[in-house]
Amino acid sequence: MTLLFSTALSAPDTNSEHARKTLEIYTTIIEMETSKNLGNVPAMAQYLADQMIGAGLPESDIEILPVGETAALIARYRGDGSSGKKPILLLAHMDVVEARPEDWERPPFTLTKDDTFFFARGTTDNKFGVAQLTSTFIRLKKEGFVPNRDLIIVFSGDEESTMTSTEVLAYEREDLAEAEFALNSDAGGGQLSVDGKAVGYLIQTSEKTYATWEMTARNPGGHSSRPRPDNAIYDLANAISKIQAHKFPVRWNDTTLEYFEETGEQLGGEVGAAMIQFAENPENEAAAERLSTESSYVGTTRTTCVVTMLRGGHAENALPQSATATVNCRIFPGIRADDVMGELQRVIGNNAIEFEETYEPTESPVSELREDIRAAVSEAVHARYPGVRILGYMASGGTDGMHFRTAGIPTWAMSGIFMNPDDGYAHGLNERVPIKAFYDALDHWSIIIKNLASD
């Protein structure tokens, strides 16, 4: 089945009350630097709570839950119960990855723009979702909308670090555990071609296991004027080089093969052809190798491990007594984290290199895509890009969804963003989102919510 590219409909009203409120919230929360260990998330949660209370949500239905230096926010939009259905959770996270102002071309914690993009840390990950969901609650409340079941905003405060608040929300809150399912704003979304045409829309149904190890080389050390043949930093560097060169075996499942088949037809070109070839025969080594060179798609074909942090030595005039690298892995579903660590140790071939797991990985199940979820998302997406195919997919990154799935709550991620994957700078320098994507998403969540929570 070959689908045509889809062109967006007319632009939304960027000066509506809803548009102005969404931008106000977006601008304000981006200016709150909510990186880990700064203690600023509770203030952001209070600001968001005040916005919803001001729109008419009862203060008694909004809770700020302290968790260490951070916090979670829970806001219940009460329905009339006429459907007899359990609540829907709406997920996002308020924290962001650190950003060093001296490295950025623009101030990372001030919303700036050019003719095409908004720039700042969190513009996509995930203050976009926080602002859109919060303003949607405000909009629906002002419209007098009464859902036929409860809707519950659930914003975590440390998704980008320990996920402690996420674990509390997913495993310790009986009021949230009663939900029928969760919809996550922190993944999924639409893909655009280079010329701005819609390639497809993705609903995240599963995600790879997130696992991190600290890899350490040790040595007696000594005076730097008396070098020895063994050196902790050199030993560690050798191990890192071997990890860099290693490729894990190609993996696939029905979701990833369908994703590559449909996306390849839409994308075209050399990469699209490789996708189709992989979908037809995932043992096609040439196709897998071509996709492995694409950062946007390599994670869909295999487990990946990459060194993300380094520390070593204790003095400039002393031989290092230890050197440590942080190795972050995104593990294909069905593969045990212990097996990945064993493969890394085998590849390195040095039994003296120590591996320490930083925390226990969460291996979450797949949430099979339901037709009512697909239909609700289709209505929202096709209002913007008629005819675009809606696909389930496996995310390479990790989100709060992994814990809610593990807790037995089916979870699907469906961001309102449409953008070219190559413009996705989340976690990197000069994070951005298309201005058009921001305004085009203004109706995204209200359409989905009304579809799933109205008679």
What range does the domain containing 202 cover?
Answer: 17-207+363-452
Q: What pLDDT shows up at residue 383?
A: 95
Do both 179 and 244 map to the same domain?
A: no
Mean pLDDT over residues 117-127, rounded? 97
Across the chain, what does the average pLDDT equal?
A: 94
Q: pLDDT tens, 200-228?
A: 899 999 999 989 999 999 999 999 999 99
Is 3 contained in some domain? no
The total of other beta-carbon atoms located within 10 Å of residue 420's CB is 15
Nearest-angstrom CA–CA distance, 388 and 380: 11
Q: How far is CA 52 from CA 41, 63, 94, 397, in A?
A: 17, 11, 16, 30
Q: How far is CA 444 from CA 47, 133, 134, 172, 360, in A?
A: 23, 9, 13, 30, 35
Mean pLDDT over residues 108-115, rounded? 97
Q: What pLDDT shows up at residue 9?
A: 54
Nearest-angstrom CA–CA distance, 381 and 434: 17
Mean pLDDT over residues 383-409, rounded? 92
Mean pLDDT over residues 165-185, rounded? 98
Grade residue 163 by pLDDT with cuts at 50, 70 and 90. Answer: very high
Q: Which residues lie closer than 8 Å to 55 by C-beta, 6 or more apart?
A: 137, 138, 141, 142
Instruction: Confirm if 430 and 121 have CB atoms less than 8 A apart.
Output: no
Query: What pTM was computed for the model?
Result: 0.85
Do both 284 and 231 map to the same domain?
A: yes
Do both 67 and 116 map to the same domain?
A: yes
Helices (H), 4-104: 17-30, 41-54
pLDDT above 90: residue 8: no
Is 10 contained in some domain? no
Mean pLDDT over residues 307-319, rounded? 97
Is 288 contained in some domain? yes
Do both 44 and 189 map to the same domain?
A: yes
Nearest-angstrom CA–CA distance, 132 and 415: 10
Domain boundary among 326, 357, 388: 357
Mean pLDDT over residues 178-182, rounded? 98
Do both 59 and 74 map to the same domain?
A: yes
pLDDT above 50: residue 269: yes
Domain boundary among 325, 357, 389: 357
Is 21 contained in some domain? yes
- Which of the two residues, 359 and 87, has the higher pLDDT score? 87
Q: What pLDDT shows up at residue 6?
A: 59
Phi-psi region at 222: left, alpha or beta (left = phi > 0; alpha = psi -120 to 50)? left
With 0-12 / 13-18 / 19 or more C-beta atoms within 10 angstroms meaning exposed / middle / buried, residue 416 is buried
Minimum mean pLDDT range among 11-20, 51-60, 246-255, 283-292:
11-20
Helices (H), 281-400: 285-292, 337-348, 371-382
Q: What pLDDT shows up at residue 3?
A: 38
Instruction: Confirm if 222 and 437 have CB atoms less than 8 A apart.
Output: no
pLDDT above 70: residue 1: no
Is 8 contained in some domain? no
pLDDT above 60: residue 136: yes
Q: What pLDDT shows up at residue 127?
A: 98
Do both 167 and 265 map to the same domain?
A: no
- Which of the two residues, 445 and 427, has the higher pLDDT score? 445
Residue 397: give its domain's CATH number: 3.40.630.10
Helices (H), 125-253: 127-143, 164-171, 174-177, 232-245
Grade residue 11 by pLDDT with cuts at 50, 70 and 90. Answer: low
Q: What pLDDT shows up at residue 441?
A: 97
Instruction: Confirm if 58 and 87 have CB atoms less than 8 A apart.
Output: no
Domain boundary among 311, 342, 357: 357
